[in-house]
Structure 1
Amino acid sequence: MTNTRSGTMNLVLFYSPFGRLNYSWRRPASNAENVMTLDYISRTAQLAESAKFDAIFLADKLSRDGTDMLQIEPLTTLGALSAVTKDIGLVATVSTTFSQPYNAARMLSQIDFLSNGRAAVNIVTSTQGEENFSGAIPSKSERYRIAEDWLQAAVALWDGWDDDAVVGDRSGNVWADPARIHAADHVGPYFTVKGPMTVPRSPQGRPVIVQAGQSPDGMDFGARNAEVIFTAKSELDLALAFYADMKRLAVANGRDEESLRILPGVVPIVGSSLAEAEDIAGELADLYAIDDGLAYLSLLLLDVPLADLPLDEPIPVHRLVSLEQAAASPNLHASRYPNLYRIVVDERPTLREMIRTRAKITGHQFQLGTPSSIADDMQHWFESYACDGFTIIPPYMPEGFARVATELVPELQRRGLFRTEYAGGTLRDTLGLSVRQATR
């Protein structure tokens, strides 16, 4: 098969030290003892770069909720990775609920400088962590109002230095022209920021703006502001609808639909044969304690009790939270709940099957097979305009990603679906996005 859609797909690596199936740390080859070291993290980033991935994406959580073994801090980590990589983009997750725009904007600009224009920020509206920030969790709609105010302040700071503000006039003793440096003077409902920043306009002008909201509020925010959208869509029809909706909303907000890249998550288990991939999946599932799986699946299903149910029968539909109730819920997992609801209702897997193969996927595509068969599905989605590419979420590390980078990616390249070399320059160049001009 050859690519019949103009252009090539984007691929971003969703980095988690243990992989999506974090209990896979129990594997002897996981190297779990060293996951916090720069050597461990940089090896993965460099492998992704050798495979020509657009970017490596670091998620974040600000408190422990039992769903992750650990959470590395994105900004400091990507600052370090900027020194040991050359081309791959660096995406840091930042909470607009629990951060100040001045500090975050300055750190992101610094990463953009250190990496020669490869920084991106994934904006999230936190639904947990308030116990660590002397505050309370606002409502969903208010969280997005806060995010809007936060981003407006950050943009005013990023745009505060003109592109030509640094003149370097040694004889006149002028390093930067004060007339080309402007205060942000942002006064919003949540943030007041005078500015200007202490650093000039960075190579990209602003970092690439990334967002992952799937609720109506999240989609509206993304359509107005985001340049890359991460999403969880496990079925083609849902992905097609989301893609069309987001592009339509972007145009309705005065944007070119090509200014937005939509990258659903895919969790691939790559084997030399289907049987080998199934064996790997079975070995991983065997590491997951049933009690842990029940607790986590209950959390994903908005705290529905499951411990009293038979493991080898489907979950009773009447026990689930309705989609209407979920839409009004402030729960962290509410926006992705419809994906799991559909799996339970339409596919009717047993509770044990949900625990063993579904509970850690949280609505993403689960691809199990050979490089060729997985590439077939990815190609179909891409050429159907269900996406502009994918967020690759390795199920286990480090070998799970190594097989993606060395077996799946070459198959995509052979079909003309993915680049074989970087375009050169900034992350915006890699993604095919234009530079955002100053808004003053």
Structure 2
Amino acid sequence: MTAKKLHLAAFVSAGPVSGSHGGWRHPKADGDLLSAAYYQNIGRLLEEGRFDLLFIPDIVAIPDTLGGSLDSQLRYGALGALRLDPLVVLSVIAGATKHLGLGATISTTYTQPYSLARALATLDHVSGGRAAWNIVTSFQEAEARNFGLTEQLSRDERYDRADEFLDVTTRLWDSWQDNALVRDREAPLFADPARVRRINHVGKWFNVRGPLNVSRPPQGRPVFIQAGASARGRDFAARWAEIIFVTPGLIDVAVEFRNDLRARAARFGRDPDSLKVLPGIVPVIADTEKQAKALHDELYGLAHAEAGLSTLSYHLGVDLSLFPQDQVLPENLNVPGVEGHYREVSELTRRSGLNLAELGQRYGAGRTTSGFTGTPGLVADRMQEWFEAGACDGFMLQIPYLPGGVEDAVHRLVPELQRRSLFRREYDGSTLRDSLGLARPVS
């Protein structure tokens, strides 16, 4: 019997694409993704399955990297064709759930520390301590142009700004001591001025006086999520993050990545066990292998190759329409975008020989980590293999279609993991930090 339990998070876009570009086209998919009820239903299902977290990815532009056009994104309902504001969506879900963690993607490049600290402190309060922040630095020119920039910051500048951003936000959350909000009606003393202080930050990127006008969050600060895969990104994650979202295609690559992150965390003076590495997988589950393969093939056929290539172009920051579509992805590309995705697809190309058109289809249908299609027992076997090999601390399930993919995970996969004593049967506390086994930061 395995004593250690794995963690489960759900990757759910507030838009058409979560785990598969064909998911929104599936006949059983709920197309009402602009309604509160749609997201509340998903949140309740995930909480029924005792998931740690619902995580909403985000971007702040419709990508136009492929051919300089919006067409491939909008026409095929690709990655960034539509994205609702994750904080608003999570606030709606917070009111329909009690234990589920609520993770929002917010860029350090296009917001200010004070406004972000205030918004996430508010979400943590109104949810009873369940907020998480996926920290991204943004790299797309299309995003930069929506915020008054004529060009994007360099990778090093983005991470320099992000490091200072995190310094400021953590100090803002700590600008109120835990016992500063007194609310003594008789005294009267609403908040103790001696327990609230300015931060008086003066830096290269930000000048922030403080204090925050929201009391210290129930979790001390939100749980930090990060997905950096470059050397600088790994250092940033090792310094700050508690959940690491990664998309390795192979188990040995995942083991190397997790070992590297844990070693880097130790060099930053952190307990390596405070990092939870969650590889992204796209589970396709059915009662029989034949049914699972049929569903996989159906979703694969619904994902248009150009949609996947458009999203891959966005992730890499490279216009892939400039290369012959019947040839493989070029080696040694200068990738201004996500280096980890380039390594992932390069490995897939070397392993399978897919040309660019075929790669677009594969990428759009469910990324590159394979082996998670089958019966609940077979998918659980694969997850257990990765978990016990030290490749991960759990998984980020990129749901291929909604809500059916969540129902399959909750009603079929989770009971199998529970039967093997790999996953909890009840929540371990009231906050997301309780669920993850993370200490509350001291002010």
CA distance in 2, matches of 1:369, 1:350: 27
Q: Any conservation in 1 of the 2:49–2:410 contact (CA below 8 Å)?
A: yes
Q: Deviations over 1:162-200 (max 9, x none)?
A: 111122232221111101001111112101111101111
TM-score (norm 1): 0.91
Q: 1:146 aligns with which of 157, 161, 164?
A: 161
Q: 1:409 aligns with which of 399, 414, 422?
A: 414
Q: Any conservation in 2 of the 1:294–1:306 contact (CA below 8 Å)?
A: no
Map of 1:265 onto structure 2 = 280
Q: 1:187-202 alignment to 2 at 5 Å?
A: 187-202=202-217
Q: 1:385 aligns with which of 386, 390, 397?
A: 390
Cα distance, 1:397 vs. partner? 1.6
CA distance in 2, matches of 1:180, 1:134: 38
CA distance in 2, matches of 1:419, 1:147: 34
Q: Identity over aligned residues, as a percent?
A: 39
SS at match of 2:22: helix
Cα distance, 1:305 vs. partner? 4.1
Q: 2:44 aligns with which of 28, 43, 46?
A: 46
Amino acid of the structure 2 residue aligned with 1:210: I
Map of 2:7 onto structure 1 = 10
CA distance in 1, matches of 2:49, 2:10: 11
Q: Any conservation in 1 of the 2:55–2:102 contact (CA below 8 Å)?
A: yes
Cα distance, 1:306 vs. partner? 7.5
Closer, same or farther: CA 356–275 of 1 in aligned 2, 3 Å: farther
CA distance in 2, matches of 1:298, 1:117: 37
Q: Any conservation in 2 of the 1:375–1:412 contact (CA below 8 Å)?
A: yes
CA distance in 2, matches of 1:406, 1:297: 32
Closer, same or farther: CA 364–133 of 1 in aligned 2, 3 Å: farther
Q: Deviations over 1:30-75 (max 9, x none)?
A: 221x111110111001100000000100111000012423212111
Map of 2:401 onto structure 1 = 396
Q: Deviations over 1:210-237 (max 9, x none)?
A: 1111111110011111111111112011
Cα distance, 1:398 vs. partner? 1.6
Closer, same or farther: CA 255–293 of 1 in aligned 2, 3 Å: closer
Closer, same or farther: CA 185–298 of 1 in aligned 2, 3 Å: closer
Unaligned runs of 5+ in 2: 64-72
CA distance in 2, matches of 1:334, 1:36: 32
Q: 2:336 aligns with which of 330, 336, 340?
A: 330
1:354 aligned to 2:391?
A: no
CA distance in 2, matches of 1:140, 1:298: 18
Cα distance, 1:201 vs. partner? 0.8
Cα distance, 1:365 vs. partner? 4.5
Amino acid of the structure 2 residue aligned with 1:24: G
1:86 aligned to 2:101?
A: no
Q: 2:331 aligns with which of 321, 344, 352?
A: 321
Map of 1:289 onto structure 2 = 304
Closer, same or farther: CA 203–43 of 1 in aligned 2, 3 Å: same
Cα distance, 1:363 vs. partner? 4.1
| Alignment: residue pair count | 423
CA distance in 2, matches of 1:360, 1:306: 22
Cα distance, 1:241 vs. partner? 0.4
Cα distance, 1:390 vs. partner? 0.6
1:22 aligned to 2:14?
A: no
Q: Deviations over 1:58-110 (max 9, x none)?
A: 11100001242321211111112111110000011110000001001001001
Q: Any conservation in 2 of the 1:269–1:281 contact (CA below 8 Å)?
A: yes
Amino acid of the structure 2 residue aligned with 1:88: L
1:127 aligned to 2:142?
A: no
Q: Deviations over 1:366-401 (max 9, x none)?
A: 521111111001001111111110101111222122
TM-score (norm 2): 0.91
Q: Any conservation in 1 of the 2:21–2:302 contact (CA below 8 Å)?
A: no
1:167 aligned to 2:182?
A: yes
Closer, same or farther: CA 425–132 of 1 in aligned 2, 3 Å: same
Q: Any conservation in 2 of the 1:298–1:306 contact (CA below 8 Å)?
A: no
CA distance in 1, matches of 2:255, 2:438: 22
Between 1:120-129 and 1:64-73, the stretch displaced more is 64-73
The alignment's C-alpha RMSD in Å is: 1.9
CA distance in 2, matches of 1:50, 1:187: 46
CA distance in 2, matches of 1:84, 1:223: 33
Map of 2:109 onto structure 1 = 97
Between 1:145-154 and 1:269-278, the stretch displaced more is 269-278
Q: Any conservation in 1 of the 2:306–2:357 contact (CA below 8 Å)?
A: no
